[in-house]
Chain A
Amino acid sequence: MTVFNESWEAVIGLEIHVQLATNSKLFSGASTNFGALPNTQACNIDLAMPGVLPVLNEEVLKMAVKLGKALNANINSPTSFARKNYFYPDLPKGYQISQMDKPIVEDGFLDIELEDGSSKRIGITRAHLEEDAGKSLHEDFEGKSGIDLNRSGTPLIEIVSEPEINSPEEAVAYLKSIHSIIRYLEISDGNMAEGSMRCDANVSVRKVGSEELGTRTETKNVNSFRFVEKAIQYEIERQISEIESGNTITQETRLYDSQVNTTRPMRTKEYANDYRYFPEPDLLPVVLEDSFIEKTLEQMPEMPNEKKLRFVNEYDLSEYDASLLAADRDLANYFEEVTGESKSAKLSANWIMGELSAELNKENLHILNSKISAKQLGQLINRIEDSTISGKIAKDVFEKMWSSGNEVDDIIEKEGMQQVTDLSEIESMVSKVIDENPDQLKQYLSGKDRLFGFFVGQVMKESQGKANPAQVNEILKEKLKE
């Protein structure tokens, strides 16, 4: 928990824009693929040719209904669209089709988990559908601007929270939770760097105990979890120091500059004040039949919180482990696949969150691109469980699997890494170690029990780590008694 001057409290509300992963645009049949050549994915409708009309892509309704359910919210039916009017070169119609009075999702909440293990409920005011604008390209054009309308008309859902977030950490926890939900629902890839998830933060501060809200600012252009945290942190500190030095906060839109970690006011020209919203006459209000909603909800996957609870109950994992694994749908699937192969949930969880995560982080890979498949990791764990290799040797095997991609058993065999479980072989190694260390033996026998560990270590060294440690212990105990 970040501590500011103790007498201040931050009040934060987030507006999260999520690009919906439909094949075609919100109101046209043009493709939504990212990265195509400029203006190759803009049809007459996206270009706002005279006479064109919008037709709603029904796929977004299903996505919004699922999101509404995951956010414990009401689904409005009928839901209606409105025009938001402003002039900008990358907004071809001169208005954006959005939702005003009857957003498709309204009045929900999300329980987020905080670092200290406690949970907090954040209210969701609404989530509404709208079309994205194109992009203005200011580089590469001497004295002019280029317009790329490929993104124009891409479906967005904007999730608006209540101002019930009180710290940068809570904001990030909330954002991550939304990220996890949209990924679970497969309604967006949630890629913040590519802009498929964008976050604007409304921040104000007030004296602790005050009922009245302070003047808020809206910070835009924050494109990673870390930047959200830093931008909010900066903005809170800025506002406190402004007020404490006798200044007032101006209600304004600010841009976050990650290079220097500050926020600065947008030029007022960059946004209009009066959007003159009115009902979109080209689209009738959309009625969502009960049967449509039911059918859509049947396709709902198990959500992160449900999965976490199941992991605790079914696999006996700790709350912490379960929640880490459940946060990412792909990671959770990987875990269940490993467990299915190995039958040891605890070991599977440990290996995934230990060795595997470390390697993935090191190479900045997502679990889907892991160099060791879930099945392979399960097999490795099986070899530990059936005593073919020790846990320590397993780490070497893991590294070899990661770098070579070879199968567990091939590596063990080729490298001769099998655990030695032959009693007579261990006995002879134990005898050898005792014989070679008469001084230590004398000390041990005279009561220096701690030296037992020394003998174990020597035997393991003798076996190049392959001796079964339990057997070594047992045999050593007996031999030392003699």
Chain B
Amino acid sequence: MKLHELSLKEQLNGLKEGSFSSTELTQHYLDRISSFDKSLNSFITVTEELALEQAKESDKRYKSNKALPLDGIPIAHKDIFCTEDILTTCGSKMLSNFKAPYSSTVVNNLSSDGVVVLGKTNMDEFAMGSSNETSFFGPVKNPWNKEYVPGGSSGGSAACVSAQLASAATATDTGGSIRQPAALCGLTGIKPTYGRVSRYGMIAFASSLDQGGVLARSAEDSAILLESMSGHDPKDSTSLNEDVPNFLGNIDSPIKGMKIGLPKEFFEKDLPNHVESSTKEAIETYKNLGAEIHEISLPNVDLSLPVYYIIAPAECSANLSRYDGVRYGYRCEDPKDIEDLYMRTREEGFGSEVKRRILIGTYALSAGYYDAYYLKAQKCRRLVANDFTEAFKSVDLILSPTTPDTSFKAGEKSDDPIEMYLQDIFTIPANLAGLPGISFPCGNHEGLPLGVQLVGNSLKEAQLFQAAHQFQEATDWHKNLPEVK
């Protein structure tokens, strides 16, 4: 078996047993990146030198029996996580020259557990997009079919893991940016409970919704990586002061008796046959594993999309104000005064989707509109969250398709923002409610993967991993990987 075909867990075992070194593994991935990534465009920066240096250190630790929990595993970071002295662009021209002066907590947590950093992955500009077509660094291709998009905004992370150019990758999810690309690229992706993973050093899009997570090839691999990333961080005031359990702890326990809810509002939607049938098949698998299936209702869940498209732009409109050309990042040529500096820097430095959202957000917060938009959206957000609280009184997990369909062709939706926003219709509610959600492969239609999503109650990541792992023990969808040429 080739090294890139091994799962993260198998690679860890191989390193421990000395079957191969981290240097070999890292070099193997670097070679694959240089062979295949030109056409995929999943990396913005490849940190070859750093990776080989880290791999060497890791090999030393294995030799001296001082190996760290994730020692020597080559991963990639979404280019939204600040990495000290390394280009951190957030997919934007605005930060196309920005080397971060510090590392994010996520990067530090993983580094202190011994991972090797292969590079920084492509993404929709400032994480705004569902197809990875808004990146200043060009679109990312779906490894299953290069005419199709990998999803977004964590499209680079998804494509590189799916193409086996990295063992796993970090990612972020504000409205579905981990789970949707996971579904479209045939991966397992988890967005944990809001506050589980520190946001310090993770460039903000919408602060109350953003959450870091993982894209990997299985629930088990995701659990291993997420455990290392998670934990209370005093540098993030919204970080939860909760112990991180062993996410692998009960991954092997049967899920007999586990109650899975199917929100009727989601299943009443007019879904394509292949989505409906693969989701039904997943439900059958769970029945066979002994889970109890219940129909439930999330009566306000249809408010999610409009609520999200007020709150996220409102927060982003303030979060992106700092990109003014004064201290770092892109600055326009020869500004004639401060007004001109602001206007042209932002006009030239931001792409159109980012500008669209800044404008929507600024409008929603303006005097005279605040009550009608932002305040009302916050109230509706509470209603959506309350629906989940009610639902979790009777079920353990909530199942739905992850996306309305399989991947779509590049350019197909890029001129229709509403059509693009509908990509996240099943994923956004979990962000509004701050709940953990996991997407994993459950089918394939015409050569493109399909995903199913489970949403759990607050802090119940372990239960999500258990349910997803049990599914993956019973099925082979997650083992299906594209052949990259």
Contacts and interface: CB of A to CB of B under 8 A. Distances in A.
B350 interface: no
Interface string B77-88: 000011000001
A360 interface: no
Kindly name the residue among A48, A49, A92, A95 whose own CB sees the greatest number of chain B CB atoms within 10 A: A49
A92 B237 contact: no
Contacts of A277: 365
B366 A282 contact: no
6 contacts: A50-B90, A50-B95, A50-B203, A52-B201, A53-B200, A94-B324
Kindly name the residue among B98, B101, B322 whose own CB sees the greatest number of chain A CB atoms within 10 A: B322
Interface of B: 81-82, 88, 90, 95, 98, 100-102, 104, 199-204, 206-208, 234-238, 314-315, 317-318, 321-322, 324, 326-328, 338, 342, 362, 365-367, 370, 374
A51 B324 contact: no
A210 B90 CA distance: 59
B338 A92 contact: no
B372 to A, nearest CB: 14
A55 B234 CA distance: 8
A281 B365 CA distance: 14
Given A53-B199, A281-B315, A147 B367 contact: no
B322 A48 contact: yes
Contact of B328 (A49, A273, A283, A284): A49
Given A49-B82, A87-B321, A282-B237, 9 more contacts: A48-B322, A50-B322, A51-B104, A51-B200, A55-B237, A94-B318, A95-B321, A276-B367, A277-B365
> Is chain B's interface secondary structure helix, strand, loop, or mixed overall?
loop
A278 B365 contact: yes
A53 B321 contact: no
A51 B100 contact: yes
Contact of A83 (B208, B236, B318, B324): B318
A92 B365 contact: no
A56 B237 contact: yes
A273 B104 CA distance: 36
A50 B98 contact: yes
Interface string A74-104: 0000000001010101001111000000000
Contact of B102 (A44, A85, A92, A147): A44
Contact of A276 (B200, B204, B342, B365): B365
B197 to A, nearest CB: 13
Given A276-B367, A278-B370, A282-B237, A89 B326 contact: yes
B237 A276 contact: no
A49 B329 CA distance: 10
Nearest to A85: B318
A49 B102 contact: yes
Given A93-B322, A94-B321, A281-B207, A48 B327 contact: yes
A50 B100 contact: yes
Interface in A272-288: 273-274, 276-278, 281-284
Contacts of A50: 82, 88, 90, 95, 98, 100, 203-204, 322
A457 interface: no
A185 interface: no
B201 A92 contact: no
Contacts of A273: 367
B375 to A, nearest CB: 9
Contact of A282 (B82, B102, B238): B238
A93 B204 CA distance: 12
Contacts of A44: 101-102
Contacts of A145: 338
Nearest to A282: B207
Contacts of A265: none
A47 interface: yes
Interface string A265-306: 000000001101110011110000000000000000000000
Kindly name the residue among A51, A55, A278 whose own CB sees the greatest number of chain B CB atoms within 10 A: A51
Interface in A213-245: none
Contacts of B95: 50
A147 B327 CA distance: 10
A147 B207 CA distance: 27
B89 to A, nearest CB: 10
A28 to B, nearest CB: 10
Contact of B237 (A49, A95, A283): A283
A278 B317 CA distance: 11
Contacts of A87: 321, 324, 342
A195 interface: no
Contacts of B366: 274, 276
A274 B236 contact: no
A410 B238 CA distance: 66
A469 interface: no
A48 B207 CA distance: 15
Interface string A122-160: 000000000000000000000001010000000000000
A277 B328 CA distance: 26
Contacts of B208: 281
B202 A94 contact: no
A156 B206 CA distance: 27
B237 A94 contact: no
Nearest to A42: B327
Q: Which 6 A-B pairs have the closest CB atoms?
A: A94-B321, A281-B207, A276-B365, A281-B208, A51-B201, A48-B322
A278 B318 contact: yes
B322 A94 contact: yes
A85 B314 CA distance: 11
A52 B88 CA distance: 14
A474 B206 CA distance: 92
Contacts of B327: 47-48, 92
Given A51-B200, A92-B327, A284 B238 contact: yes
Given A50-B203, A283-B237, A95 B101 contact: no
Contact of A92 (B104, B315, B322): B322
Contact of A53 (B88, B235, B328): B235
B45 to A, nearest CB: 15
Interface string A14-44: 0000000000000000000000000000001
Contacts of B317: 85, 276
Contacts of A283: 237-238
B338 A85 contact: no
A285 to B, nearest CB: 11
Contacts of B321: 85, 87, 93-95
B200 A274 contact: no
Contacts of A53: 199-200, 235-238
A137 to B, nearest CB: 14
A83 B324 CA distance: 17
Contacts of B200: 51-53
Contacts of B365: 85, 276-278
A390 to B, nearest CB: 67
A56 B234 CA distance: 10
Contacts of B98: 50
A53 B236 CA distance: 6
A49 B208 CA distance: 19
Nearest to A286: B237
A294 to B, nearest CB: 24
Contacts of B322: 48, 50, 92-94
A22 to B, nearest CB: 17
Contacts of A147: 326
B202 A51 contact: yes
Contacts of A56: 237
Contacts of A89: 324, 326, 338
Nearest to A28: B235
A94 B317 CA distance: 10
Contacts of A94: 318, 321-322, 324
Nearest to B341: A89
Contacts of B101: 44, 49
Kindly name the residue among B204, B207, B326 whose own CB sees the greatest number of chain A CB atoms within 10 A: B326
Kindly name the residue among A48, A52, A274, A277 whose own CB sees the greatest number of chain B CB atoms within 10 A: A52
A273 B321 CA distance: 17
